Structure 1
Amino acid sequence: MRRALGARRTTRPGARRLDVSRRRASTRRALGDPASLRELYSGIGATRLALEHLVDLQDVVAIDNSDAANAVYEANFGDVPRRANIEHLDANALFPSSERDYALTASPPCQPYTRRGLGLASEDPRAKSFHAVIDAIPNLSNPPRWVFVENVRGFESSDTRRALLDALSERDYDIREFIVDPTALGVPNTRERYYLIATRSPGGFSEPTPTWLRGRAIDAAGQFVGEASTSQSTTSTLADYIRTECDNEDELVLGSEMIRKYWRVLDVVTPTSKRCSTFTSGYADTVFGGSVLLRSRGVQRGLDELLELDADSGVSRINERDVEHFIDNLRWFHVDEIKALHGVRDDFTFNACSRKKAIFLLGNSISVHVVREVLLHLFSAG
């Protein structure tokens, strides 16, 4: 029987399937006791979501200065993040001073390193807090056993990254760095990001880097060390992530004037597409913040056949002669669809904020799909 367009499957083909019980069992054997966590720039808690699949967590301290993000975090985990500017905190008071092992995760502000930004890196005031963390690492009485850092593409060429590597090397961490896109895991969403994992475990990374990740490793100069392998699984289509009932939500439909004004730059995807653009914090406020979806009524009318593929960008565009056909046939992605593409579990709630704020927070968040797999490699070191 043919599946209805956009109907949800219990598993999503293309996304790497996780044997959660096996993976958690293997990391439990490596870690022994439940893991303590210091989650800096915690946002909505997406890194914690990724960790929940891998380890038992206790003694979690999350820190973020966003009231909206902290409210969402509390609603989903029950823990109240500390609202603080990290550079004003005493590092030894923040991190455990005992011999207890713990993980440090950080997704610091990305603006100092964005391609479209000024590229000020450490000179940007928004980088100050993370540099305070970096400066503290060599002097910690009990440095974290595991470190995870995530940021935008471009961070790898910054002086902040060089300072981070120097600080970690001073404490004898074994370090791995990668630049990864969710499409590497078969997820039809582009969100290329820099990832660093580091461990002080005896023997360092004793397990070989997974094949799919190996070609995405970078060297000290920030260059790829090998050719990236193709996706380890067949990339799924957007039909496995979208919900057809959202087609009928009027507030998601693009206005006619917006289509007529911005048709040249609209990134139009369909349920059969195997990619969609990164969802930014400004998504649904600007057409430059991510892809828009051809509604099912548009597919039924054959409008997908009118789209023209841009050979340079791989993006499907509207031809000027067809603009009027697309009026009332394009919509924004729903929050739940963005959640699914980011790997956020279905029962994760944004009831603590508006839909607009939820999109903003998701746009500032991470791909749980990718982070879960990168963290699995980190904790396999024991």
Structure 2
Amino acid sequence: MKHRILELYSGIGGMHCAWNESKLEGEIVAAVDINTVANQVYMFNFPKSNLMTRNIQALSLKEINNMNFDTILMSPPCQPFTRNGKYLDENDPRTNSFLYLISMLDKFDKLQYILMENVKGFECSTVRNLFIDKLNECQFEYQEFLLCPSNVGVPNSRLRYYCIARKTNSTWIFKRKTEIMRSLPKDYGAPDSIECVLEKDVSDKFLVKNNILKRGNVLDIIQKESKRSCCFTKAYTHYAEGTGSVYTEASPENVKECFERANKFEVGTDNFIETLKELNLRYFTPKEVLSLMSFPSSYKLPETISMKQCYRLLGNSINVKVVSELLKLLFD
């Protein structure tokens, strides 16, 4: 069966990439996002797509049903469910479009399959309860997950909530559980090392600047042998802590020794910064971050997009490998 997919909150096309990687039969009949910069990147990679720069709430039921889809892939705004976003839940206006979709799920004529991604924290929200109640009302079977790319052999942390759901009029080989699953049925082995994503001859423009080095003690530093990296957020390169890992060619022993010398000076002083400069700490390039988020090597970011825009878009995107594996389960 050739499926017809509606991709909502399509961003830079991570769901599109995941569908392609899954090798399932089907086509993205329409993609919808209100972010014009993300849409520019999407069209750069999928120029023949039916991409709509629209507010989802502006789509009428008739307009949506005319797309004749049987599958929805979506990643609604996550800010209402994060601590940094004040966790306003259903009271955050950014949930309005998703609540609109939930209210119409029973009116989509041919909808059979759903995959939804969001941030960890969504599972505790009122909006999640409304979503699950609607799935039950519409007689969907579903499974919720909290998964990290490291679960599928990718050396990156990006813990996210996922829900896959399908109508009960067909047998689902996948064995559901009532609780949220934290792994997939398949064993993917240990993650690869970071070396597999590294570019050669990276420009000095990616070196960590002094204003970040002065807080060097909070940086997450990794080497090519590392089998992990921190979650990359849209604030990567702008803040020192919690926005993503930085890379050095120096060995762990050299890093330790360098910090021991640096910490003899007051943190943040010129001497402290100059000592840490010996490590040549650098940011991961957008291409390297794309690799850690499992985008295909053919995927490109247009030169018209600034570096800041690149990192912001990547920080809001999905891990392609995780979604691809979930799609295989969904259509099993």
TM-score, with structure 1 as normaliser: 0.77
1:182-211 CA deviation, whole Å, 9 max, x = no partner? Answer: 1111211000000000001533422336xx
How big is the shift at 1:73?
A: 0.8
Q: How does 1:45-124 map to 2 (within 5 A)?
A: 45-53=13-21, 54-58=23-27, 60-78=29-47, 79-96=49-66, 102-124=70-92
- Contact persistence 1:37–1:57 (CA under 8 A): yes
Q: Distance in 2 between matches of 1:319 and 1:91?
A: 62
Q: Distance in 2 between matches of 1:169 and 1:163?
A: 10
Counterpart of 1:198 in structure 2 is 165
How big is the shift at 1:231?
A: 6.0
Aligned-residue identity in percent: 30
Counterpart of 2:95 in structure 1 is 127
Structure 1 residues 332 and 318, CA, compared in 2 at 3 Å: closer, same or farther?
farther
User: 1 or 2 for the larger relative contact order (CA 8 Å, sep ≥6)?
Assistant: 1
1:86-129 CA deviation, whole Å, 9 max, x = no partner? Answer: 112212321347xx552101101000001332111110011111
Residue type at the aligned position of 1:87: Q
Structure 1 gaps of 5+ residues are 1-31, 210-216, 309-316
How big is the shift at 1:229?
A: 8.8
- Pairing 1:348–2:299 present: yes
Q: Distance in 2 between matches of 1:226 and 1:42?
A: 25
Residue type at the aligned position of 2:156: N
Residue type at the aligned position of 1:359: Y
Q: Which shows bigger deviation, 106-115 or 47-56? A: 47-56
Structure 1 residues 319 and 129, CA, compared in 2 at 3 Å: closer, same or farther?
farther
Q: Distance in 2 between matches of 1:203 and 1:178?
A: 22
Q: Distance in 2 between matches of 1:118 and 1:218?
A: 29
Q: Distance in 2 between matches of 1:218 and 1:364?
A: 29
- Pairing 1:238–2:238 present: no
Q: How does 1:181-192 map to 2 (within 5 A)?
A: 181-192=148-159
Q: How does 1:282-301 map to 2 (within 5 A)?
A: 282-288=235-241, 289-294=243-248, 296=249, 298-299=250-251
Q: How does 1:238-257 map to 2 (within 5 A)?
A: 238-246=194-202, 249-257=203-211
Q: How does 1:176-325 map to 2 (within 5 A)?
A: 176-200=143-167, 202-208=169-175, 219=179, 224=180, 232-246=188-202, 249-260=203-214, 262-288=215-241, 289-294=243-248, 296=249, 298-299=250-251, 303-306=254-257, 320-321=263-264, 323=272, 324-325=274-275
1:148-167 CA deviation, whole Å, 9 max, x = no partner? Answer: 10000000000111111111
1:125-177 CA deviation, whole Å, 9 max, x = no partner? Answer: 1111100000111233x141100100000000001111111111111001111
Counterpart of 2:268 in structure 1 is none
Structure 1 residues 229 and 139, CA, compared in 2 at 3 Å: closer, same or farther?
closer
- Contact persistence 2:29–2:69 (CA under 8 A): no
Give the number of aligned pairs. Answer: 320
Q: Distance in 2 between matches of 1:318 and 1:60?
A: 58
- Pairing 1:375–2:327 present: yes
Q: Distance in 1 between matches of 2:317 and 2:124?
A: 21
Structure 1 residues 170 and 284, CA, compared in 2 at 3 Å: closer, same or farther?
same
Structure 1 residues 154 and 237, CA, compared in 2 at 3 Å: closer, same or farther?
same
Q: Which shows bigger deviation, 36-45 or 74-83? A: 74-83
Counterpart of 1:326 in structure 2 is 276
How big is the shift at 1:59?
A: 5.4
Structure 1 residues 267 and 37, CA, compared in 2 at 3 Å: closer, same or farther?
same
- Contact persistence 2:191–2:227 (CA under 8 A): yes
Q: Distance in 2 between matches of 1:161 and 1:318?
A: 50
- Pairing 1:137–2:90 present: no
Counterpart of 1:165 in structure 2 is 132
How big is the shift at 1:267?
A: 1.1
Q: Distance in 2 between matches of 1:93 and 1:229?
A: 38
How big is the shift at 1:45?
A: 0.7
Counterpart of 1:10 in structure 2 is none
Structure 2 gaps of 5+ residues are 266-271
Structure 1 residues 227 and 37, CA, compared in 2 at 3 Å: closer, same or farther?
closer
Counterpart of 2:6 in structure 1 is 38
Poorly superposed stretches of 4+, deviation over 4 Å: 224-231
Q: Distance in 2 between matches of 1:133 and 1:230?
A: 32
Q: Distance in 1 between matches of 2:205 and 2:178?
A: 43
How big is the shift at 1:358?
A: 1.5
Q: Distance in 2 between matches of 1:228 and 1:43?
A: 25
Q: Secondary structure at the match of 2:145?
A: strand
Residue type at the aligned position of 1:198: A
